Amino acid sequence: MVKLGFESQLVTAEPAKDGMKDLQSVTSKGKQLLLRHVSIFRWLPHYTKLDAVGDLVAGVTLGLTMMPQAIAYASLAGLSAQYGLYSSFMGGLVYMMFGTIKEVSIGITSLMALMTYEYTQDLPVEFVILLTFLSGCVQLMMGLLDLGILVDFISEPVTSGFTTATSLIIIVSQMKGLLGLRFKSNGFVDNIWQLFKHAGEAKLWDCQIKPGLPTFGLPPFSAQVGNTTYSFLGMCEKLGSGIIMVPVVGVLANVAIAKAFSAGKSLDATQEMLTLGMCNLFGSFVQSTPTTGAFTRSAVSNASGVKTPMGGLYSGTIILLALGYLTPYFYFIPRCTLAAVLITAVMFMIDFKIMIHLWKCSKRDLFALLITLVSSLMFGVEVGLLMGAVFNMMQLLYLWARPITYVKLCKSEKGCEYVLVTPDLGLVYSSLDYLRTELGKAAVLNGRGKLPVVLNCAHFKRVDYTAACGIKLILKDFTTSKQPLLFLNAQPSLVHFLQSNNINTAQYGNSEEEIVDILLGEQLDLTRSETLPFLGKSQELKVSVDDENILFGALTLKQEIAQETQEKSTKC
């Protein structure tokens, strides 16, 4: 009875132990997830007094830099100056919690201000705040779907063309404020024309700022414009493509800045998407405009010796103090001064040196830059960025559809000649016909229609169904022309995929020496149960036998056994 009781206790204890292990596993995974996405838990336990001093100096310096820039950028967005300040403190506080790069400063930027103006001009501020809210939602969704990889499809030349065009647009648009001119323009070219047309006029504008802190509340989901009331869907319809373009451009700019200050370390673009989304989402509750990382302010933060993202706490505090106590003094800042600050801030973003380098090393990338630059100046920055990204995608598709194929006529030490064909990229359905043509050319021109052709599959990491069917057609072509085709360095997954699609006549080799042995007939198919590790079960092992006498004896023994078996069956 005691034994039975003891066994019963063991039986009930084992599930409890398993439950504890499962609980520990879940807790460990939750801790890892928390450390990955809430960055402050990674660096706060190691925070020192020296870090605090560095962050304090950098944060105060950054806050004093942000104030005039924020007012100027609000003017660029067509808003009252206080909205620039409203947009300058929440980003730093949120990024302190979730951000990964200590130098990055989140707030209103010239790029975001310009795009905000393009989509909300002649509309009340409620549309701007809703755009901020929707931008945050889109960026959060991109982060949750782990779409950080999309940023990798925007090349450096396209980014350079985009920033250069944006800088030129900002400079030209601010010239009227610098010169005290009043006029409306439609686009970059028309703005230049209007500048010359009104060059004789000059007026001094003042900047009026509403004092006090912003009210905290939900973003507006309806708006009144004149006698028309817009519902949420109506406001979204008015914002149009800005709901997608503004957050995408914001992510692009923020990740580009984060890469610039990552000091060669790997960057989690998905985490940056999530963080930026939360910055805009929470910012919309304090009447913020769409925000992203600012290169100039990030450079100031880096030069000031920032140690951790805690610097955002001090810069945000400076902005809040300015809103509470200094706004009456901002009234006397003339518009021309703000325009000068803007022009000075973006001048360094114009990059013409890269064009010289691209002309020397890659004219294709130079063409991508020029497409982005000209399209942005003529049709708007969002169209330019889209066209640059599309051109990049077209380049990638072309490279995969038309891979560079290296053809080499080889001769082994044993005198075996063959044609080695090596595509520099993998095999996909779009490149199938091209590869089939190149193999045919190599077989006829280099192989003289009789030499074996060896296809090097070192880069064929994955083959789709269409490509597998195409290989079957290629094998049929070579069988018809009575010219051998062999596969070199075929991956196990590739061999299995081909065999599962009934392509069992192909011959494979892991090295050129094995290929030569196959071609010379030194590898013979023996009936054995073992198979090569990388082949399917239907592919028999090919064994190289040097001693012909051993082979002859084995065959003779096999014949004798067969005769004895036949004689016994006859007697029975």
Q: Evaluate if residue 81 carries a pLDDT over 90.
A: no
What strands, in cross-sheet order, belong to the sheet with 485-488? Answer: 405-411, 417-423, 453-456, 485-488, 507-509
Axis crossing angle, helix 242-260 with helix 295-303, rounded to the nearest 10? 30
**Domain parsing of the chain, residue ranges:** 44-155+203-339, 402-541
Q: Which of 355-359, 381-385, 559-563 has the lowest mean pLDDT?
A: 559-563
CB neighbourhood size of 180 (10 A): 16
Query: How many residues are given for the chain?
Result: 572
Strand partners, 417: 411
Q: Which amino acid is located at 450 in the chain? A: K
Q: Evaluate if residue 169 carries a pLDDT over 90.
A: no
Residue range 402-541, CATH number: 3.30.750.24
DSSP state of 537: T
Q: Evaluate if residue 228 carries a pLDDT over 70.
A: yes
Residues 6+ apart with CB under 8 A from 127: 120, 223, 235, 238, 239
Question: How confident is the model at residue 425, as a pLDDT?
Answer: 84
Question: How far apart, in whole angstroms, are the C-alpha atoms of residue 103 and residue 100?
Answer: 9
pLDDT digits (tens, 9 = 90+) for 541-565: 333 333 334 333 444 444 444 455 4
pLDDT digits (tens, 9 = 90+) for 100-110: 888 888 999 87
Q: Which two tokens stand for residue 331?
A: 């009234």
Q: Evaluate if residue 33 carries a pLDDT over 60.
A: yes
Minimal CA–CA distance to 462: which of 425, 436, 434?
425
Task: Please give the span between the terminal C-alpha atoms of the chain, in angstroms, as a whole number.
Answer: 65
Question: How confident is the model at residue 207, as a pLDDT?
Answer: 44
Q: Evaluate if residue 10 carries a pLDDT over 50.
A: no
Could you give the residue ranges of the DSSP H alpha helices within 154-231? 156-179, 188-197
Q: Evaluate if residue 185 carries a pLDDT over 80.
A: no
**47/34: higher pLDDT:** 47
Longest dimension (CA), the chain: 124
Q: pTM higher than 0.85 for the full model?
A: no
On whether the CB atoms of residues 49 and 308 are closer than 8 A, the answer is no
Residues 6+ apart with CB under 8 A from 379: none
